[in-house]
Structure 1
Amino acid sequence: MKRQTISLMLSPLLVPLASCGATAAGDSSIQGPADFVETNPFTTREVAKLDEPWALALLPGNAALVTEKKGKLKLVDLASGAVTDVTGTPTVAFGGQGGFGDVAISPAFEKDGTVYLTWAEAGESDTRGAVLGRAKLVREGTGARIDGLEVIWRQSPKVTGRGHYSHRIKFSPDGKYLFLTSGDRQKMTPAQDLTVNLGKMLRLTRDGKPAAGNPFAQKGGVSAEIWSYGHRNLLGVAFDGEGRLWDIEHGPAGGDELNLVKPGSNYGWPVVSNGDHYDGKPIPRHATRPDLAAPALSWNPVIAPGAMIICKCEKFPAWKGNALIAALGAQGLVRVGITGDTAREAERYNMDARMRGIAEGSDGKLWMIEDGAGGRLLEVVPR
């Protein structure tokens, strides 16, 4: 199905869609409305149905772990589709955008069996914050559990509200460092405050401590965790083939961003944006502040990204090195070509559903999850 064409408007004054709304995208270019391709170059195979899946991590042996927002962790056999509850999971603060978050396996998983998880944790006086934990995954027969779960990092401070946790996990290509996204929790100004870790990209050790050599290490405290700042709600993070770090994040009413993330850089939120506040109050554009890091690409209207990979793409060789974005608002897969420090949307593929997650296996297979109740885990197969 091809979406009806909307006349292309690059002006930021066009009426935008809300990136972080209930239905809920760079300055080298601003992407306007785009058509889906006539025919997707892939088909999908339904593997399993889940309840509000949020993230997936592929395991050795043709299996995957999937988090569900309400607090369950599922082990899925990717061949048969059998779904098993993993026991030993934490209590999560479910509601709004919060609940169970990301799941990732240790770079040394085949030796240590360690998995990393993020979730929203309740605090005092109606506050909440994201936490990062790790545990050992134990599989016995058809059952599975996590043992020895320990919290190794927390958002600081916990605040009211139930949005913009971000809490995406990505290990560096050498496996030494854990990069973690920490959203602004819809409070905006903390993104510019180096004494808190909200609105930041963080670089940690694998045990959750600040990594040596971080840009603000001399400030101590949580400042020592910070890799970059001025971020809003970072829901995708990936390394390209050159080892460079990219993130994709929700803008306000317009202005979703794809950023090339560099240490110590300030990405401007909420001082600048290519979108405006939900009440219509304008925000100065990135072009007005050349001293702040501008995104490589932004979207107006938004695509509302759910997750992102930069694809090795053995199964889709024409996509090699492209960013593949699971899009909630755009209800499909958005492919972005990257050339040096610049980026441009290449194609958009209709999947008729809000797409929450995407992963690429070591064998080159692509997997995606849909958002919401009954969200499907799909294998993406070349047509």
Structure 2
Amino acid sequence: MFRFLTIFALCLLPFAALAQTLSTSQGALRIERMADGFRTPWALAFLPDGSFLVTERAGALWRVAPGGAKSKVSGVPKVQSQNQGGLLDVLVPRDFAQSRELFLSYAMRQGAGSGTAVARAVLSADGTRLTGVKTIFEMAKGSSGGRHFGSRIVEARDGTLFITLGDRADRPSAQDLSRHNGSIVRIRRDGAVPSDNPFVGVAGAQPEIWSYGHRNPQGAALDLQGRLWVHEHGARGGDEVNRIRAGRNYGWPVISYGTHYSGAKIGEGTRKQGMEQPAFYWDPSIAPSGMTFYSGKLWPQWRGHIFVGSLKFDYISRLSGSNLNERERIEGPQTGRVRDIREAPDGTLWFISEDEGAVFRLSPMQ
């Protein structure tokens, strides 16, 4: 009997090893569960001491210590947790070691409606609480309903902040410069408007707006040259990846490569003078979320490639090329509803699986 059990256990070893790897174009990568037990996790960010932060949409911010111990961070601003809204992105700026500042994006109650807001706070030395919490931005004219908050935050190389804002399911507002809906905004860390924003001084325009005509951008990142890119949800088809340029109109809802969920045509077609074309689009929609440009630190062949999570089809999309295209789908039991994906300081790739309520790490096989 002992001999039988030993042989059976040995036969199981390949399956155990397989369960801890993901197959990719760079060979089998080791996958490790770094933390779990989260309820609808939305974003993650790394701290210099080796710990990391995870947001939950219902309003909790967690710190996970290098050893894996989880602790809830107190002092998070009150959020409007409704459908797609709640506590969303978290940004650890480059000077965190000196400033200990964090930035959080979230859905904020605005009268009878709600809108995307950003708060600045200081994380205590022991990592247990936020102090000095201050809302530095909130979108104008809050909308009813709980959809399309956008909400990624990116620190530009000059220290300004880009924030993605969804159209709040109010389609025409994405073409209205008097509103923030459906735009990328750019602000300073204190919430002030940079003087070189493209619509500063334009009558009736919100001066924070950097670009407009977006539907619901849930991924944003700088490429290796420091240029801003975003991806956004289309309706039925037409999820887009766009390189963002100041003052440009990205077309929603006038042009789109998708259709309404009813199958009806959107706007005027796929092209219009004065409106930008996407660098790439998915059809059918994959419901993209999270985005990172890879440095090439551990896998040089992936240098400059884009990694995006799919909420709908449960995989990680890898895109590359001068004519941007999806080159690979990385998928396995752990990639259910990939909400966020980030490169860690050591070059490993981390992602959130919303289905698993967990954070995973991809690294080379030893």
Q: TM-score, normalization: structure 1?
A: 0.85
Secondary structure of the structure 1 residue equivalent to 2:206: helix
Q: For residues 187 and 294 of structure 1, do their structure 2 counterparts lie closer, same or farther at Cα, with a shift above 3 Å needed? A: same
Paired position in structure 2 for 1:119: 106
Counterpart-to-counterpart distance in 2, 1:376 and 1:238: 22
Paired position in structure 2 for 1:205: 188
Q: For residues 221 and 58 of structure 1, do their structure 2 counterparts lie closer, same or farther at Cα, with a shift above 3 Å needed? A: farther
Q: For residues 108 and 63 of structure 1, do their structure 2 counterparts lie closer, same or farther at Cα, with a shift above 3 Å needed? A: same
Which amino acid counterpart does residue 360 of structure 1 have in structure 2?
E
Q: Per-residue deviation at 1:96? A: 0.8
- CA deviation map 1:182-219 (0-9, x unaligned): 11001111100001111001111111222121111012
Paired position in structure 2 for 1:5: none
Of 145, 155, 166, the residue aligned with 1:171 is 155
Q: For residues 359 and 204 of structure 1, do their structure 2 counterparts lie closer, same or farther at Cα, with a shift above 3 Å needed? A: same
Which amino acid counterpart does residue 45 of structure 1 have in structure 2?
E
Q: Per-residue deviation at 1:91? A: 1.6
Kept in 1, the 8 Å contact 2:26–2:299? The answer is no
Counterpart-to-counterpart distance in 2, 1:198 and 1:164: 9
Counterpart-to-counterpart distance in 2, 1:182 and 1:329: 21
Paired position in structure 2 for 1:129: 115
Counterpart-to-counterpart distance in 2, 1:170 and 1:115: 12
Q: How does 1:227-266 map to 2 (within 5 A)?
A: 227-266=210-249
Contiguous gaps of at least 5 residues in structure 1: 1-35
Kept in 1, the 8 Å contact 2:256–2:270? The answer is no
Q: For residues 311 and 258 of structure 1, do their structure 2 counterparts lie closer, same or farther at Cα, with a shift above 3 Å needed? A: same
Q: Per-residue deviation at 1:313? A: 2.8
Please say which structure displays the higher CA radius of gyration. Answer: 2
1:104 aligns to 2:91 (yes or no): yes
Which amino acid counterpart does residue 347 of structure 1 have in structure 2?
E
Kept in 1, the 8 Å contact 2:177–2:204? The answer is no
Counterpart-to-counterpart distance in 2, 1:194 and 1:38: 44
Counterpart-to-counterpart distance in 2, 1:40 and 1:199: 39
Counterpart-to-counterpart distance in 2, 1:377 and 1:226: 33
Paired position in structure 2 for 1:54: 42
Counterpart-to-counterpart distance in 2, 1:221 and 1:119: 26
Counterpart-to-counterpart distance in 2, 1:72 and 1:205: 26
1:346 aligns to 2:330 (yes or no): no
Counterpart-to-counterpart distance in 1, 2:105 and 2:180: 15
Q: For residues 155 and 222 of structure 1, do their structure 2 counterparts lie closer, same or farther at Cα, with a shift above 3 Å needed? A: farther
Counterpart-to-counterpart distance in 1, 2:81 and 2:63: 20
Kept in 2, the 8 Å contact 1:286–1:292? The answer is no
Secondary structure of the structure 2 residue equivalent to 1:309: strand
Kept in 2, the 8 Å contact 1:199–1:231? The answer is yes
- CA deviation map 1:13-51 (0-9, x unaligned): xxxxxxxxxxxxxxxxxxxxxxx9699642310011111
Q: How does 1:125-204 map to 2 (within 5 A)?
A: 125=112, 127-140=113-126, 144-174=128-158, 176-204=159-187
Of 63, 73, 79, the residue aligned with 2:51 is 63
Counterpart-to-counterpart distance in 1, 2:26 and 2:180: 43
Q: For residues 354 and 40 of structure 1, do their structure 2 counterparts lie closer, same or farther at Cα, with a shift above 3 Å needed? A: farther
Paired position in structure 1 for 2:10: none
Kept in 1, the 8 Å contact 2:258–2:266? The answer is yes
Counterpart-to-counterpart distance in 1, 2:143 and 2:184: 18
Q: TM-score, normalization: structure 2?
A: 0.89
1:74 aligns to 2:62 (yes or no): yes
Kept in 2, the 8 Å contact 1:366–1:379? The answer is yes
Which amino acid counterpart does residue 287 of structure 2 have in structure 1?
A
Paired position in structure 1 for 2:360: 378
Paired position in structure 2 for 1:20: none
Secondary structure of the structure 1 residue equivalent to 2:125: strand
Q: For residues 86 and 47 of structure 1, do their structure 2 counterparts lie closer, same or farther at Cα, with a shift above 3 Å needed? A: same
Contiguous gaps of at least 5 residues in structure 2: 1-22
- CA deviation map 1:336-362 (0-9, x unaligned): 0042xx311111111341101111122
Counterpart-to-counterpart distance in 2, 1:211 and 1:153: 13
Q: Per-residue deviation at 1:221? A: 6.9
Q: How does 1:301-320 map to 2 (within 5 A)?
A: 301-320=284-303
Paired position in structure 2 for 1:26: none
Between Structure 1 and Structure 2, which shows a larger proportion of strand residues?
1
Paired position in structure 1 for 2:77: 90
Secondary structure of the structure 2 residue equivalent to 1:368: strand
Paired position in structure 2 for 1:274: 257
Counterpart-to-counterpart distance in 2, 1:378 and 1:278: 33
Secondary structure of the structure 2 residue equivalent to 1:189: helix
Q: Which moved more, 1:249-258 or 1:115-124?
A: 115-124
1:322 aligns to 2:305 (yes or no): yes
Q: Which moved more, 1:256-265 or 1:41-50?
A: 41-50
Aligned length: 340
Which amino acid counterpart does residue 377 of structure 1 have in structure 2?
V
Q: For residues 249 and 40 of structure 1, do their structure 2 counterparts lie closer, same or farther at Cα, with a shift above 3 Å needed? A: farther
Q: For residues 157 and 317 of structure 1, do their structure 2 counterparts lie closer, same or farther at Cα, with a shift above 3 Å needed? A: same
Q: For residues 147 and 221 of structure 1, do their structure 2 counterparts lie closer, same or farther at Cα, with a shift above 3 Å needed? A: farther
Kept in 2, the 8 Å contact 1:268–1:286? The answer is no
